[in-house]
Amino acid sequence: MGSSLELEWLEKGVKGLFSVVIPAFNEANNLIHTVPRLIQRLTEEKIHHEIVVVNDNSSDNTEEVLKQLALQYPTLRWVKNSPPNGFGLAVRCGLRAFAGEAVVIVMADGSDSPEDVVTFYKKLQEGYECVFGSRFNTGGKVVDYPRHKLLLNRLANNFIRILFQIRYNDVTNAFKCYRRHVIAGLNPLLANHFNLTVELPLKAIIRGFHYTVVPNAWYNRKEGISKLKIREMGSRYLFIILYCLIEKLFSRGDYKIASAVSTSKN
């Protein structure tokens, strides 16, 4: 059993600190742009922050790039994800490592705007427990989104929206922000890959956390290739969707009650 101060840190995090978790697999050429732009914008807004980059067993020079960036930017730290690699596993590693009162998940490829990160942070200060982005609400936009992926995205999100009877139309969007106690209230997490982008918000909604949706922009990567493999992900997304649906229909609010208890302690 840790001290009371250690337990308080585990529950609440470092007071006033905003964490950014960035999973990175072979993203050396993108991180040299993504990290400085993000730090510059957060610093301009005087947001007390940390950037936690998770090196997901990269085979390029991602580690060397992170070492150099860490020398330049004191608010950056990086951790290694233990094998095997996977987007969801890397994010989960970051969610175990972040120290702040709240965390936002940002892609290493520069597809998420630093300006939107600031918007999410400010929205969180209004009292929300989660802030979800939507690229398809008024004010949102996608730039150079591959047409076949866009079609699959809209089909999948409409399927989820109808199945769960929710208005949120961009559940698969990875760009989301959560208070620390929400992350604790979503355990155990099961998804190892991009299906984690669905597991996190659906559990947050099902378990009764207070969320809002704001428009955000998405820009296609300029360097490297997407790590999302559509053929491999269909069954994984379906598994997580059905898992969350079973909780919604049959858990009788047990997890929701547990989440409420966790929230009341903070």
List domains and CATH numbers for the chain. 4-264 (3.90.550.10)
Q: Please tell me the pTM assigned to this model.
A: 0.90
pLDDT for 231 equals: 58
Q: Over the stretch 40-90, which tens digit does the pLDDT of each residue have?
A: 999 999 999 999 999 999 999 999 999 999 999 999 999 999 999 999 999
197-254 pLDDT per residue, tens? 999 999 999 999 999 999 999 999 777 665 555 555 688 999 999 999 999 999 877 8
Q: Label the pairing between strands 130-134 and 141-143.
A: unpaired
Write out pLDDT tens, residues 11-46. 678 999 999 999 999 999 999 999 999 999 999 999
The dihedral over CA atoms of 109, 195, 199, 220, expressed in degrees to the nearest 10, equals 30
Taking the alpha carbons at both ends of the chain, their separation in whole angstroms is 19
- Environment class of residue 135 by beta-carbon count within 10 Å: exposed (0-12), middle (13-18) or buried (19+)? buried
- Mean pLDDT in the chain? 90
- pLDDT, one tens digit per residue, over 155-211 is 999 999 999 999 999 999 999 999 999 999 999 999 999 999 999 999 999 999 999
